[in-house]
Amino acid sequence: MTTTAPQRPILKELKCPSCGAPVQQFSSDAQTIVCSKCGSVIALDMEGPTVTGKTRKLPTAVVPIEIGDKGSFDGTEFFVIGRVLYRGWDDEDKWVWDEWLMGGADGRLLWLSYSSDEGFTLFKKLRVREPFDAQTSLMLPTGGANQVRVHERYPAELAGAEGELTWRGKPGDKLFMAEAFGNGKRYSVQQTPDELEIHEGVPLTNAQVATGFKKTKWLESLKKSGSRAKTVGLVAVLCIIFALGGFIAAAWASTTGETVLSQTLTLSRANPTITIPVEFDQIGRASIVSVSAQGALPMQSAIDIDVSIESPDGMENELFTLELWRESGTDDEGYWEEAQASASDMFVPFQTGEHTLEVALGEGNLDTISVGIDIRRNHILPLWFIVYGGVIGVIGLLLLFSSFRGQK
């Protein structure tokens, strides 16, 4: 045998001053009620209900909570009697969040807040009798000697409402928000020119809220989403592992190749060009040609070294011009000294057989220089491993973020 929780009793039934439709009041603390038929915002005054504005029908919340829903929280049966949609902004972004007013069987009023970034928070109103300014105060009094530091503040506005509110408000009303965390709780401050409200809340998971409202379909959807999120997370971790493998392979590839030449040459104005035979045994496999100065260059010197390779069919491939130099001077920061003494480039042979490496002395103010020549053939290019690792890594990070959002 199953029993259903009793419907929250209606405190008073009013007539909308605008359309005459019945408007039900459930809480004695209500100061504003929105007519569900015409959207009139009705202020509850001593003289009677007064229309203060209009609101459009709110968009469906991203979570399945509606006015009239009953749920158990903090050991008490609660009844959703109102909803507010807020819009906040700063210099970089804009966002919205929902808050539902819940009346308890024990007479308490709680606010259930939801935002896509922070999830659910169950707030209760604090009675704090210390001065606080949401725009300037650094510390938020939470009662007694306890204080928490304000970590965020921003302007906001009431974008829309339905049901009952415990304060006077209508769409377009501006307010200023301040938020703080401390002792495992969240604190939210809403300040207008006329009112200041401070709320203390505890975070709740989607599953806790769905369980509290006994929404089985929502719970099943959360379980499926959680399972998908775990699968996506596992795939994300595998992608990141494979990406790391790609970068490790790139590091290994950068060391590959068979050294076929390692020689020191002396170039001079009397003997400006030296040629060396080099054998390449595979077509299309990259070779790395490196040239470096042997010993320190004299101060205020510069010289060009031209490097080229001639294929067996006579085609000349100009690889690079190595600019060697050493300079010094002074500026506003004092003495400085700079030098460049090495360079390398890649050569891909399109023929096998004996090639001719030519190293020539170019323009500059040095008449003699010794350089080291090194060639590694059949080199494995690390670029493709780097591209692979980068692409797979980005995919993995995106999947990991998606998994985190799904589990949250």
3-state secondary structure 148-212: EEEEEEEEEEEEEEEEEECCCCCCCCEEEEEEEEECCEEEEEEECCCCEEEEEEEEECHHHHHHH
What are the residues facing 69 on neighbouring strands? none
Residue 262 resides in a domain: yes
Listed residue (192, 156, 179) closest to 31, CA to CA: 192
Does residue 397 share a domain with residue 343? no
Does residue 139 share a domain with residue 181? yes
Distance CA(279)–CA(275), nearest Å, equals 13
Does residue 167 share a domain with residue 141? yes
Residue 2 resides in a domain: no
Residue 4 resides in a domain: no
Distance CA(167)–CA(176), nearest Å, equals 15
Does residue 247 share a domain with residue 190? no
Tens digit of pLDDT per residue, the chain (408 long)? 333 444 566 788 889 999 999 998 888 888 899 998 999 999 988 878 899 888 888 999 999 999 999 999 988 999 999 999 999 999 889 999 999 999 998 889 999 999 988 899 999 998 877 888 999 999 998 876 778 999 999 999 999 999 998 888 888 999 999 999 988 899 999 999 888 899 999 999 999 999 999 999 999 998 888 888 889 999 999 999 999 999 999 999 988 999 999 999 999 999 999 999 999 999 999 999 999 999 888 899 999 999 999 999 999 999 889 899 999 999 888 899 999 988 889 999 999 999 999 999 999 999 999 999 999 999 998 999 999 999 999 999 999 888 876 665
Place of tokens 């069919």: 313
How many structural domains are present in the chain?
3
Rg (CA), the chain: 37
Distance CA(245)–CA(240), nearest Å, equals 9
Residue 116 resides in a domain: yes
Does residue 265 share a domain with residue 123? no
Does residue 182 share a domain with residue 198? yes
Phi-psi sector, 156: left (phi>0), alpha (psi -120 to 50), beta = beta
Does residue 292 share a domain with residue 238? no
C-beta separation of 278 from 401 below 8 A? no
Distance CA(320)–CA(340), nearest Å, equals 15
Residue 220 resides in a domain: no
Does residue 81 share a domain with residue 119? yes
Residue 49 resides in a domain: yes
Contacts of 216 by beta carbon, 8 Å cutoff, 6+ apart = none
Does residue 305 share a domain with residue 247? no
C-beta separation of 179 from 118 below 8 A? no
Residue 333 resides in a domain: no
Contacts of 17 by beta carbon, 8 Å cutoff, 6+ apart = 40, 42, 48, 49, 50, 51
Take residue 367 and report the two structure tokens written for it. Answer: 């008449």
Range of the domain at 38: 12-214
* Long-range CB pairs of 134-138, under 8 A, 24+ apart, other chains included: 134/176, 134/177, 134/178, 134/189, 134/190, 134/191, 134/196, 135/176, 135/178, 135/191, 137/178
Does residue 153 share a domain with residue 46? yes
Does residue 287 share a domain with residue 138? no
Q: What ranges make up the beta strands (E) of 251-341? A: 258-268, 273-280, 286-293, 301-310, 316-331, 334-340
Listed residue (205, 86, 184) closest to 142, CA to CA: 184
Query: What one-letter code names the amino acid at 83?
Result: R
Residue 219 resides in a domain: no
Does residue 371 share a domain with residue 282? yes
pTM beyond cutoff 0.85 = no
